[in-house]
Structure formats: C-alpha cells, structure tokens
Amino acid sequence: MVNAIILAGGYGTRLRPITCSIPKPMMPVINQPLLKMIIQKLLQEIQLNKVVIAVNYRAHDIEAYMNEWQKELSCEIHVQDERKPLGTGGALKFSQALLDDDRFFMLNGDVISFFSYTNMLEQHKETNAMATISAIRVPDVSRYGVLVSDKNSNLIRDFYEKPRTTELIKKYSIYPVNAGTYLLEPAIFDFMEPEKKISIEKDVFPKVAKQDVAYKFEFSGIWKDFGLPEEYLAGNFIILDEETKRLGVENIIDESVQIGEGTTINPPVCFDRDVRIGENCTIGPNVILGNGVQVGNDVTISESVFLENCYIENNNEIIRVIMGDGVKTGTDVHLVGPAIMGSNVYVDDQVTLIAVSNQTVKICPWVTLTVESVENASSNGAFIH
C-alpha cells in the first residue's frame, strides 16, 4: 500500500479576500473543493492506505469536510494541524509517525497536474529511488526550481532555484523544472530535523541528489497553480474543458437547474444544484455557478466563477469576476474584471466597476458598493474595503 501527504498549509493571501473565510485548498474548482479533486485524481489510479493533510490555517474547516467525505472512501484521512508554519520539509517531518511505514506521494494542495501516477510509481520502483520528482518543461525557468539531470537518464545531479540573469536562464532552459509532486521513501526523514522550519526543495533534495537516489519523472500536459486570481480563473476553465471532453458533453449542468426562455448558453459552463437563470440571458463561455446561484433576466455573464448562493438582479453584465458566497447585485450593474469579491458583498443599482490596466480589483467581505464608493475608490488602488 502507498500513502500520501498533501501540503495545504498556505494562507491563500493572493486569493484574498475570498480566502478570509475559505481555506485556499477548499476553494471550489468546477464546484468541487480543490483538495477533494486532488485526492480523487490520485485515488483513480493508486490504492492508498492513508492520506495526510498538513495544514496550519483554518484546520477545523478542512477537518470537518474531510471527516464527512471520508465515510465514502476506502482510505484513512488524517488532518495534521502544524500550529505554526514549518515549511514543506518541516510539515513532512511533523507527519512522520503517520507516513514512515511505506513509500508515499507528496503533493501541493493548490496545484493540479495531469499525468500518470501509476507510471511515476513504476519508474520509482525500477530506479530504486529514494525520491522521484515530477518535472515539466516551461518557456521561462526563472520562476521555478530547475532539475539538473543526467543527459542519458532521469538521474538528478543538481538543483538550481529560479535562475534570473540572462546567462543563467539560457544555461538552465535545457532542463525541466520541479512540478511539485514527489514520490518518496521513508528514508527521506533521515535528512530532516524535527520541529524545524525546513524546505524540502532547498534543504533536503540537494543532499539526496548527492547520493544518486533522486530521479525526475518528466511529463507534458496540464500543470496548474491556483495561487493568483487570474490563475484560479484560468485553472477552473482548463479543468472544465478537460472534464467536458472526458464526459463527452458540452456543459456540466445539474438536473435541478432551471433556465428561462430566450436564454443562450455558450459552452462550456458548469452549473451546480438549484441554479436558477432568468429569461433572455447570455451565459458563457467559461462560467461556473455554485449551488443555489440565482440570475435574473437580461443578464450577460462570461469568464467568471460564482460560489454558492449569489443573487444577480436583472440587466447585469459580469465578465472575469470571482464572486464569494452570498454576493448580491442590484439592477443595471456592469462588472468587468479581473475582480475578486469576498463573501456577502452587495453591489448597488447602476454600479459600473471596470478593472484598470488588468489590475485585479479586490473587494472585502460585507462591503456595499455604491456608485459613489466606486468613484472614490478609483484613485485609491484596487482594494476596496
């Protein structure tokens, strides 16, 4: 049997204000928590004994959800609250007692990768590796850790973190970068001290590589980080496209959804339970509506994700917006993002809010947006509170 640990300890600061009330790993992706989607994808291929989720922010929210969902699974789920940030290696060491009985996958809770875990496991066994590190080719290596590998094999010789100068970028562009999914043997714990903040990428893997037991597993395909608002939108739309192709459908629409006369749905879209859409609307492409969302008449929505129980009045135009739970709008509202709204924001009648120079507009929870407040905020940056 194989185990898994998922690092889900981030505060999600780049996705605030929504992550003020929802842990980033629980942010919905096509109306499923990101963390659930990551675990499901792993379970589709690998029979797991246990899954450890390492958290240090809103652990109770994650634990409550996982305790309920675990009833449907054949593996154990353990939520480990670090209490203080320990880094990627420290979080792993903190969970050693749950993981030192077998090899285990290590994944990031804000990244989705599309590759074969089965093939990764087979290569790991064939090479007798202590660490197998997923790797992917990217156009710009300056944002990532580079895996300097042997020309004739997958053996990793060295690591280089985020080459920045033109000369270094040219030198290291021939190599793939670390894609953040690892398959590890329990012997990896010997390289870590307990209760210390440790980076597995910077402090542990270079030592493992010197013993010639670290290998890359290179893949091509989808590799998506959900850390920024624009990445969160793009990631939802990529996964929506993949899922509709897999299911052989244009849209993913729950059978309880009601759509009014004269409304056009431009694929792909994903509508959860009890969504209500009025008459003469144009919805899509790339629109994801959470449970209980209600949309009035003569509304246009595209390139947007709405969480649960949003209410959109008549004559709205909404483009490239992430809406938190319970957001409501009045009539004749025009929102053009990128924009991200916290829970329970109210947008008053006739408000027009357009992002300037592609800078994401962020609106704090429980704020009421009026015509006057938007005009006042236009000269005070992109954060409205």
Q: What is the pLDDT of residues 75-91, one digit of tens each?
A: 888 888 877 777 888 88
Would you tell me how many other CB atoms lie within 10 Å of the CB of residue 70? 15
Contact 50, 98 (CB under 8 A): yes
Decide which of 74 and 377 is more confident.
74
For 330, the token pair is 């009045």
Task: Please report, for residues 54, 171, 175, the alpha-carbon distance to residue 84 in angstroms, rounded to integers and kept in the order given.
Answer: 11, 38, 35
Q: What is the pLDDT of residue 18?
A: 78
196 is catalytic: no
pTM score, two decimals?
A: 0.85
Q: What's CA 8's distance to the chain center, in Å?
A: 10
pLDDT in tens, 183-211: 999 999 988 888 788 888 888 888 888 88
Strand partners, 202: none
pLDDT in tens, 258-278: 999 999 999 999 999 999 999
Q: What is the pLDDT of residue 113?
A: 85
> Residue 195: how many CA atoms within 13 Å on its side-chain side?
0
Q: What is the pLDDT of residue 24?
A: 78
Decide which of 165 and 239 is more confident.
239
Domain 248-384 belongs in CATH node 2.60.120: no
Mean pLDDT of the chain: 87
Decide which of 233 and 356 is more confident.
233
Average pLDDT over residues 120-143: 90
Contacts 24+ apart (CB under 8 A), 248-257: 251/284, 252/30
Mention the CATH class of domain 2-227. alpha beta
Residues 6+ apart with CB under 8 A from 225: 110, 111, 231, 235
Decide which of 83 and 49 is more confident.
49
Contact 165, 109 (CB under 8 A): no
b/e map 227-249, b = 16+ CB within 10 Å: bebeebbbbbbbbbebbbeeeee
CA dist 125 and 130 (Å) reads 9
pLDDT in tens, 162-185: 878 888 878 878 788 888 899 999
Q: Where are the domains of the chain?
A: 2-227, 248-384
CA dist 224 and 297 (Å) reads 35
Contact 319, 303 (CB under 8 A): yes
> Length of the chain, please?
385
Task: Please report, for residues 118, 156, 215, 217, 218, the alpha-carbon distance to residue 127 in angstroms, rounded to integers and kept in the order given.
Answer: 14, 12, 8, 11, 14
CA dist 192 and 118 (Å) reads 27
Catalytic residue among 41, 162, 171, 202: 162
pLDDT at 376 over 70: no
Q: What is the pLDDT of residue 379?
A: 45
CA dist 272 and 270 (Å) reads 7
b/e map 91-110, b = 16+ CB within 10 Å: bbbbbeebbeeebbbbbbbb
CA dist 59 and 11 (Å) reads 11
Decide which of 56 and 33 is more confident.
33
Q: Which of 169-173, 242-246, 254-258, 377-381 has the lowest mean pLDDT?
A: 377-381
